[in-house]
Structure 1
Amino acid sequence: MSIWERLSVQEKVREALGTVTIVNDSGHHFGRPYMTAYQLAIKVDRAHPEIAKELKAEVGGTGKGYSLAQYLAHQLSQRIKSGGDDFEIEGAFLSNDDVRRLTYSGPDGEPFDSSLTGTGFDISMFRLRRPHPAG
Structure 2
Amino acid sequence: MSVDVTTLWQRLAVEAKVVEILEAVPCIAPVPHQLGRPYLTAYQIAIRLDERHPEVAHELGVEIGGRGVGRNFSLASYLGRQLSELVRRDQDGTHPIEGAFLSSQSVTALTYIDAKGNSVESSATGTPYDLSLFRRRQADR
Sort the TM-score into its range (normalised by shorter chain).
Answer: over 0.9
Identity of paired residues, percent?
Answer: 46
**Divergent runs of 4+, >2 A:** none
In structure 2, distance between residues paired with 1:103 and 1:81: 27
In structure 1, distance between residues paired with 2:116 and 2:20: 20
In structure 1, distance between residues paired with 2:30 and 2:140: 19
In structure 2, distance between residues paired with 1:75 and 1:96: 21
- List runs of 5+ in structure 2 lacking aligned partners: 1-5
The alignment status of 1:60 with 2:68, answered yes or no, reads no
Equivalent residue for 2:14, pick from 9, 19, 22: 9
In structure 2, distance between residues paired with 1:130 and 1:60: 29
Check 1:55–1:25 CA distance in 2 against 1; reply closer, same or farther (3 A cut).
farther
The alignment status of 1:99 with 2:104, answered yes or no, reads no
Q: Counterparts of 1:34-73 in structure 2 under 5 Å?
A: 34-64=39-69, 65=71, 66-73=73-80
Q: CA deviation at 1:132?
A: 3.5
Check 1:75–1:25 CA distance in 2 against 1; reply closer, same or farther (3 A cut).
farther
Task: State the match for 2:3 in structure 1.
Answer: none
Q: CA deviation at 1:130?
A: 1.1
Q: TM-score, normalised by structure 1?
A: 0.93
Q: CA deviation at 1:83?
A: 2.0
Q: TM-score, normalised by structure 2?
A: 0.90
The alignment status of 1:132 with 2:140, answered yes or no, reads yes
Length, aligned pairs only: 133
The alignment status of 1:89 with 2:63, answered yes or no, reads no
Task: State the match for 1:29 in structure 2.
Answer: 34
Give the letter for the 1:12 counterpart: K
Task: State the match for 2:127 in structure 1.
Answer: 119
